[in-house]
A and B are shown apart, each in its own frame.
Chain A
Amino acid sequence: MNTPSLFISGGLNLPPPEIKICFCSLFFYFFSFCCYRAMKILVAVKRVVDYAVKIRVKPDKTGVDTQNVKMSMNPFCEIALEEALRIREAGFAKEVVAVSIGPSQCVDTLRTGLAMGADRGIHVETNSSFLPLTIAKILKSLAEVENPGLIFLGKQAIDDDCNQTGQMVAALLGWPQATFASKVVLDKDKHVATVDREVDGGLETLCVELPAVITTDLRLNQPRYASLPNIMKAKSKPIKKMTVQDLKVDVKSDIEILEVTEPPKRKSGVMVSSVDELIDKLRNEAHVF
């Protein structure tokens, strides 16, 4: 608030037109600063089978057995939420909203998110398991309602390894995306985020204008633990329940999962006694030539 007077009292005797321009730029600065301060971050979290659990395929091959199996928040989603919390603590954002799409038990995952420090949660309740495109459509509708400045997602879920949702959300919204983030730096003035991405050849640095979608990779941060005082506070934080119909999203999927099987068990090797036997096996059993 002091900046205009400082500028004038800085000892520069500028003629009126330039002062007017300065005021405009200052006004823009405050406007964007206020926008920044009011920025909301939306974090999508997924409830998955805990990554330390040995999974088994259901006998009817329709999917993985999730009965009586420990479920927890997708590790990449934890990292995404942690990054959002750090940005809020640095003063760049006002509110962190965690959203989860799935059955009623997703509330547990949201409670974990709230216990870590998110301000409120949104639960889109559904008993079907949606593929990434549907999730992306739901997140797009939510973004149009909530108007966040940043959407954070984990780079992929450890149950389906799709690595698609973040990219699809960005495309549907027409927003820039920075995926596989290993470092995120926000710039107060220019309203951009500078993101280091982990790519096959090393690291790539991108500058994206906000609002943007960022998906997080492993080395971005180490998520905090849910401490008791925060768990206590989380009990009073609101979780809004919504349905797919509320968001007017078409959930019909073009993809149908036919079968889920375990990878073939590795067969033990065979010792061959001569080169002829080797050629014979390569030709007739392995069909190499």
Chain B
Amino acid sequence: MMMQRLRRSEEFIRFGCESLINLRPNKNSVPRSVSGFVTHYDTKGKLFESNVGNHYNTHRCLGRNLGMLQQYKCFGSSSASQIERKPLFSSLDSKDVSSFKEILGDKNVVEDEERLETANTDWMKKYKGSSKLMLLPKNTEEVSQILQYCDSRRLAVVPQGGNTGLVGGSVPVFDEVIINVGLMNKVLAFDEVSGVLVCEAGCILENLATFLDTKGFIMPLDLGAKGSCHIGGNVSTNAGGLRLIRYGSLHGTVLAVTANGNVLDMLGTLRKDNTGYDLKHLFIGSEGSLGIVTKVSILTQPKLSSVNLAFIACKDYLSCQKILVEAKKNLGEILSAFEFLDNNSMDLVLNHLDGVRNPVSSTENFYILIETTGSDETNDREKLEAFLLKSLEKGLVSDGVIAQDINQASSFWRIREGITEALQKAGAVYKYDLSLPVEEIYNIVNDLRRRLGELANVMGYGHLGDGNLHLNISAADYNDKLIGLIEPYVYEWTSKHRGSISAEHGLGVMKANEIFYSKSPETVAIMASIKKLLDPKGILNPYKVLPHSLFSH
């Protein structure tokens, strides 16, 4: 059919290297994501290695493997010293394996080295555990039985979803048992009147979006990893993404979770329910340390037909801020995304990704993506054009383009969503995800540039509309001198301006000990008591989220 041929040939021309991957025979396992990100994930481990330059792929970790008991930390996570495995946790033995096989059946107890290799390594290839066992439960009862067994035997576990986290929260630190919810991927119910979707935790975000698309609805969140991440993982990490500015965080849109060890059935589909303490908020963002999310009930939004996207260039950060204020005023109810990226990020994407071109003809210091979603095509279009032309006259915008069709829109998004991918290809990358007051956001990038000088390339991009900066430092190689200059400088800077050291990525194992930069000791102490209440033996995702010092009992 013409459309398919056009699409395929478009992909061939415009998405260069990806097309090589698209020509592979069996593509039907994961639908292709608009951003192209999925080709990375669905072949993680194998194909990914062939894409990445050799200097990055040497698995520097291998040289520092000091045995199973000590963590396989490749390089520069926090400046905290090496973590040690808690002797209180038991080690896996054959009796455990056979008990698991009784609960789950032989097929869903994985001891195969190759599969464990991928499950043990995180997406950034920064953290690698040494787990010997992965379990694949199919429903809540099986999860509950597994956890009760692990609790009785004091076996540490790691809940795992799509394994796309960026702070090492989804992989084992030592030999924890991996509980992967990938088999729990059914959509349970969808109410077309209220828009409430009930599904199991292992559903891939993009699959849910495709399902909802046929019904005329959209998911309230959208992120670059949508081709691989699971909704359960999104909920556990309170993922933000590109649509937060319009639809709010998951705390607002998730109606219930069922988490467990003991099955806590909080699964409801009511929009309003003020009966007692709302416990689901504890689990949203707890990163698997308080319980495992098995089912999610989420409020979805009707799909609006008119989506417009503009890509504009500005000379300086002050203009970006002014444009943000003006956009919120003038585009108000139709504004659905406001992202920014700086010149270094644009250069990186143009150099490392194929089939990408700069939409504006001039190179400027900052680029902004503004998306509007509404129900009236002509009206929205006129509003957006009027706003942009006014900004052009005022001198806030130096140049810009408006996407004329969905194809152009997805090529604009490819630039913004492809930065993470380009960073992986460029070599070593240190990632920081900070929430700061909008005026301060770019100051940290400039300060860090001055501090690091020629040593590394500092990039700043992110969700300007939410005050969220993704600070990335790219260097040819990982080295301790660089990490020493970056941390704890970045955390102290953030703390001084009352920002958050983790806006949406979570703490995981990377920032477990840094929580004090953003939360007071009293608050953290209460968090620790809640953890002890819900997980007395501390088997759920240990060594992560909360500082290790609190649990040295």
Residue contact A72 to B406, C-beta cutoff 8 Å: yes
- Interface size range on B against A: 35 or more
Residue contact A75 to B400, C-beta cutoff 8 Å: no
Q: A218-B9, A231-B385 are in contact. Are A51 and B401 (CB under 8 A)?
A: no
Contact with A along B381-413 (1 / 0, CB 8 A): 100010011001000010111111111101000
Interface membership of A270, Cβ < 8 A: no
Residue contact A51 to B407, C-beta cutoff 8 Å: yes
Q: A70-B307, A108-B378, A232-B392 are in contact. Are A225 and B404 (CB under 8 A)?
A: yes
- B 206-233 contacts with A by CB, 8 A: 213-214
Q: In the complex, what distance in Å separates the CA atom of A85 from the CA atom of B401? A: 18
Q: A51-B6, A51-B7 are in contact. Are A227 and B406 (CB under 8 A)?
A: no
Residues of chain B within 8 A (CB-CB) of A108 are 377-378, 381
Residues of chain B within 8 A (CB-CB) of A158 are 2-3, 6
Residue contact B6 to A218, C-beta cutoff 8 Å: yes
Residue contact B305 to A51, C-beta cutoff 8 Å: no
Residue contact B408 to A225, C-beta cutoff 8 Å: yes
Residue contact B399 to A228, C-beta cutoff 8 Å: yes
Interface membership of A145, Cβ < 8 A: no
Residues of chain A within 8 A (CB-CB) of B361 are 227
Most chain A beta-carbon contacts within 10 A, residue among B2, B213, B307, B406: B2
Residue contact A73 to B13, C-beta cutoff 8 Å: no
Q: Which of B3, B213, B357, B401 contacts A226 (CB 8 A)?
A: B401
Contact with B along A159-188 (1 / 0, CB 8 A): 001000000000000000000000000000
Contact with B along A60-76 (1 / 0, CB 8 A): 00000000111011010
Q: In the complex, what distance in Å separates the CA atom of A284 from the CA atom of B309? A: 56
- A 118-157 contacts with B by CB, 8 A: 156
Residue contact B403 to A225, C-beta cutoff 8 Å: yes
Q: A69-B305, A72-B405, A219-B13 are in contact. Are A225 and B378 (CB under 8 A)?
A: no
Whole-angstrom distance between the Cβ of B527 and the nearest chain A Cβ: 45
Residue contact A52 to B401, C-beta cutoff 8 Å: no
Residue contact A73 to B405, C-beta cutoff 8 Å: yes
Interface membership of B510, Cβ < 8 A: no
Contact with B along A196-229 (1 / 0, CB 8 A): 0000000000000000000000110010011111
Contact with A along B481-524 (1 / 0, CB 8 A): 00000000000000000000000000000000000000000000
Residues of chain A within 8 A (CB-CB) of B6 are 51, 75, 158, 218
Q: A51-B3, A156-B2, A218-B10 are in contact. Are A228 and B406 (CB under 8 A)?
A: no
Q: A161-B2, A218-B10, A228-B388 are in contact. Are A70 and B404 (CB under 8 A)?
A: no
Q: In the complex, what distance in Å separates the CA atom of A232 from the CA atom of B402? A: 12
Residue contact A232 to B2, C-beta cutoff 8 Å: no
Interface membership of B88, Cβ < 8 A: no
Q: Which of B401, B405, B408, B410 contacts A227 (CB 8 A)?
A: B401
Q: In the complex, what distance in Å separates the CA atom of A51 from the CA atom of B10? A: 11
Interface membership of B370, Cβ < 8 A: no
Whole-angstrom distance between the Cβ of B226 and the nearest chain A Cβ: 16
Residue contact A228 to B401, C-beta cutoff 8 Å: yes
Residues of chain B within 8 A (CB-CB) of A52 are 405-407, 410
Most chain B beta-carbon contacts within 10 A, residue among A54, A108, A228, A231: A228
**24 contacting pairs across A/B (C-beta < 8 A):** A50-B405, A51-B405, A51-B406, A52-B405, A70-B306, A70-B377, A72-B405, A75-B6, A75-B10, A75-B405, A112-B404, A115-B402, A115-B404, A158-B2, A161-B2, A218-B6, A225-B403, A225-B404, A226-B401, A226-B402, A228-B392, A228-B399, A229-B399, A231-B388
- Give 5 A-B pairs besides A70-B305, A226-B401 with Cβ atoms closer than 8 angstroms: A70-B306, A225-B359, A227-B361, A227-B399, A231-B385
Residues of A within 8 A of B (CB): 50-54, 68-70, 72-73, 75, 78, 108, 112, 115, 156, 158, 161, 218-219, 222, 225-229, 231-232
Residues of B within 8 A of A (CB): 1-3, 6-7, 9-10, 13-14, 213-214, 305-307, 311-312, 357, 359-361, 377-378, 381, 385, 388-389, 392, 397, 399-408, 410
